[in-house]
Amino acid sequence: MRMNCPELGKRVAACFSAAAMLACLWVVAALAGCAGDAGSPSDGGAVETLDATSLNDAGATASSQLPFAIEGVPCGAAVVDVAGGASAADFNALWSFGGDYAEIGSFPLDAQTVFGSYSSNPDSLVSYGAALLGEGGFEVIDSPSVNPSLYYEPQDGSGDANRIVWRSSLLGDVAQAVSDNWRLQVWDGESGTVRTLGTSQEIAGDEDVCFAYADIVPTMNAENAFFSTAVQEGDALSTLVLSYSLTEDEPGAVLAEGGFPAATDEGVVFASDPADAAADPFSYSKVSACEAGTTNPVLTVSSPDSSWHVSGVWASGDKRVVAFSSTDASAGSYLGVWADSFATPVAWLHAESPSVVASMNEEWLVWGAGSQAEHAEMYAYNMADGRIVLLGTAPGYSRPAIASDNNAVMVPVPNGGAGAVSFTVGVLAD
């Protein structure tokens, strides 16, 4: 039985059986028009900035047209080509870590601490534990299992110094190769304790039918954590938005079919309604919100050839960001930025990469191209004054992250060739 938003908190009872599916499915991205509107931080040096308010400079345009139509929310903001020219700006790089596979960063809590994983024996893939990493050392908050067959590799998460939620993936012959047997956990900063919120087995039973369909990071508000997984039921593929209570020790709930959940103060916003679920269950045509016990559509994207779709959703405070991609990878992608919970359009940011991996707080949005080798620049956009800062370039690991309640940023720095990535932590100026 699948559950909708009003049944938040009820037990996950959906059980799916099917052959294991391929895990490494990458969301292909691209671009979309508005219808109906009335230096490198690795060496502590300068990074580059583009003043997005100067629309005649560096390739920015004042066009109100996009290659797709948006309905449901206002979208009359300037379109800015972020790959235009840039001038120097200060980035306060404070410290670095990694570069030897022993420490891997996920996101910063503040300028002194990063959540990630640590291993004293990085030659062993089953030796990493979830950890708080700092310039002066590390603290493992969840030790790895001594049984390799039960080992979950810590991966991405979100949170702050008070609470962190993260996902891990079971390693093994099947896990990560053809499926994603995940586990969701939460760390409480006051008590230092870790609790498992849920696992893929609760969704799929003993079958390996959950798999990763994109870079999905668990997200949370004061009461619930949200996550998403792809499943197969018979011949049909779908994605589910899941909710787990942070205040009660109870099973999770399936809120709706959809993906890319982003927690809000009132609930969660997420991508929904694939334009052609049979052909591509990940080509979402809408963004919906599950808030105050009710699920409602927020916006719809459409284009004459149905090539544009929602490829990411993020939220912080009253700010909302939605990524739009195309089946034509050469079109790049667009990031729509809104304030006042979609009531006020702020900007349209055009990136050259066909999809993006992003992170945000109420002041800054940071993003990169994820695991893509091309167009691997990493940027930060200031939502108050329109500044765009070039943080660096990291082919294959273009995924900067910003703290949720301050402006600390973690930037991956490639070491060349097959060397381990290192990370620089710094602060973006107000």
Domains of the chain in start order, with CATH, are: 5-17+24-100+207-427 (2.120.10)
358 close to 335: Cβ distance less than 8 angstroms: yes
Q: How far is CA 318 from CA 187, 191, 243, 292, 426, in A?
A: 25, 30, 21, 16, 25
What residues contact residue 287 under an 8 Å CB cut-off, 6+ apart?
269, 270, 271, 272, 297, 298, 299, 310, 313, 322
> Which pLDDT does position 94 carry in this prediction?
95
- Report the SS3 class of residue 6: helix
Q: Of 280-294, 344-358, 378-392, which has the strongest mean pLDDT? A: 344-358
Q: Hey, which bits of 292-363 come out as E strands? A: 294-302, 308-316, 319-326, 333-339, 344-351, 357-360
- Write down the pLDDT at residue 415: 85
Please tell me the distance from the alpha carbon of residue 83 to that of residue 367, in angstroms, as a whole number.
13
pLDDT tens for each residue of 15-45: 222 222 222 222 222 223 444 333 334 333 3
- What integer pLDDT is reported at residue 13 of this predicted model? 32
Predicted pLDDT of residue 429: 84
Contact between residue 346 and residue 383 where contact means Cβ atoms under 8 Å apart: yes
Greatest pairwise CA separation for the chain in angstroms: 62
Residue 119 zone, left/alpha/beta (φ > 0; ψ -120 to 50; rest): beta
Tell me the pLDDT band of 278, cut-offs 50, 70 and 90. confident
| Burial group, residue 191, by CB count within 10 angstroms (0-12, 13-18, 19+) | exposed
Q: Measured between alpha carbons, how far is 103 from 279 in angstroms, rounded to an integer? A: 40
Continuous segment of H or E residues that includes residue 210: none
Residue 202 belongs to what H/E stretch?
A: helix 201-204
User: pLDDT at position 208, please?
Assistant: 63
Is residue 162 pLDDT above 80, yes or no?
yes
C-beta of residue 127 within 8 angstroms of C-beta of residue 172: no
Lowest mean pLDDT among 128-137, 204-213, 250-259, 412-421: 204-213
DSSP alpha helices (H): ranges in 226-373?
Answer: none
Residue 307: what residue type? S
Token pair listed for 324: 């739009």
pLDDT band at 176 (very low <50, low <70, confident <90, very high): low
Give the HSE-up count for residue 358: Cα atoms under 13 Å, Cβ half-sphere.
Answer: 32
What Rg do the C-alpha atoms of the chain give, in angstroms? 20
pLDDT at position 418 = 73
- Is the confidence at residue 2, as pLDDT, over 90? no
pLDDT in tens, 401-418: 999 999 999 999 998 777
Q: Among 336, 415, 424, which residue's Cα sits nearest to residue 383?
A: 336
d(CA 282, CA 262): 16
Distance in angstroms (rounded) separating the CA atoms of residues 355 and 234: 29
Among 137-141, 210-214, 264-268, 381-385, where is mean pLDDT lowest? Answer: 210-214
Distance CA 51, CA 387 (A): 5
Say which range, 80-89, 239-248, 414-423, has the weakest mean pLDDT: 80-89
Phi-psi region of 281 (alpha: psi -120 to 50; beta: other; left: phi over 0): alpha
Say what the pLDDT of residue 4 is. Answer: 42
Measured CA to CA, the distance from residue 286 to residue 296 in angstroms comes to 10
pLDDT in tens, 52-84: 443 333 333 333 579 999 999 999 999 999 886
Q: How far apart are CA 90 and CA 414, in angstroms?
A: 21
pLDDT at 233 (0 to 100): 79
Q: How confident is the model at residue 99 (pLDDT cuts 50, 70, 90)?
A: very high
Q: Which amino acid is at 406?
A: N
pLDDT tens for each residue of 280-307: 888 999 999 998 889 999 999 999 989 9
- How many angstroms separate the CA atoms of 37 and 427, rounded? 37
Asked if 32 and 326 count as a contact pair (C-beta separation under 8 A), the reply is yes
